[in-house]
Amino acid sequence: MRSRLSCFGRDEQGAALIELALAAPILTVLLMGATDVGLAFSRKLALEQGAQRAVEKVMQTTQLSTVQGTIADEVAVQADVRTDQVTVTFPKYCNDRKLPSDTAGLPVGECNSGETPSWYIQVVVIDDYEPLFSSVSLGTKLANGKYRIVAKAGMRTK
């Protein structure tokens, strides 16, 4: 009887299968997480590139609409979002001090004497990303199970 039990202790057939069974779930979760992080990052890059292209293009064409409208429309096309997901502001800085803005995103007030003014165009695009694998957590989820992605682009105009 003892000799039969001792042969099981030396038998290594199936050890690799057991190791695979232990490691496979961990590797699967890592792969799912990497896939979702990659897709979310790709979406954020698409939003940023759309905003940047719109800022560059607005210098060429603004005949059809206001500057804000032209930029929002261009971002919507480039980044595949709705125009209400795009915010366009024109911040003004006096040295390192940002002037307050009105509801239209235009600066209010003037620089003090001796301060150097600088004007910018800033575009902010907000989109919600739905992960491919809902079981993998990428951070804080919204109530609808999606994640908020915010992309910003800007350019100094003066």
Digit-coded pLDDT (tens) for 61-73:
555 567 777 788 8
**What pLDDT, on a 0 to 100 scale, did the predictor assign at position 27?**
92
Residue 110, domain member (yes or no): yes
Residue 2, domain member (yes or no): no
The domain containing residue 150 runs over which residues? 14-156
Query: Distance (Å, rounded) from C-alpha 21 to C-alpha 24?
Result: 6
Residue 53, domain member (yes or no): yes
- Compute the residue count for the chain: 158
Domain count, the chain: 1
Per the listing, tokens 């042969």 go with 7
pLDDT surpasses 80 at 143: no
Taking residue 48's Cβ as centre, other Cβ atoms within 10 Å add up to: 18
The contacts of residue 109 (CB under 8 Å, 6+ apart) are: 99, 100
pLDDT surpasses 60 at 139: yes
pLDDT surpasses 70 at 10: no
Residue 137, domain member (yes or no): yes
Average pLDDT of the chain to the nearest whole number: 80
Provide the percentage of residues in the chain whose pLDDT is more than 90: 4
CB burial string 27-44: b at 16+ within 10 A, e below? eeeeebbeebeebbeebb
Residue 6, domain member (yes or no): no
Residue 1, domain member (yes or no): no
Residue 58, domain member (yes or no): yes
pLDDT surpasses 60 at 121: yes
Residue 5, domain member (yes or no): no
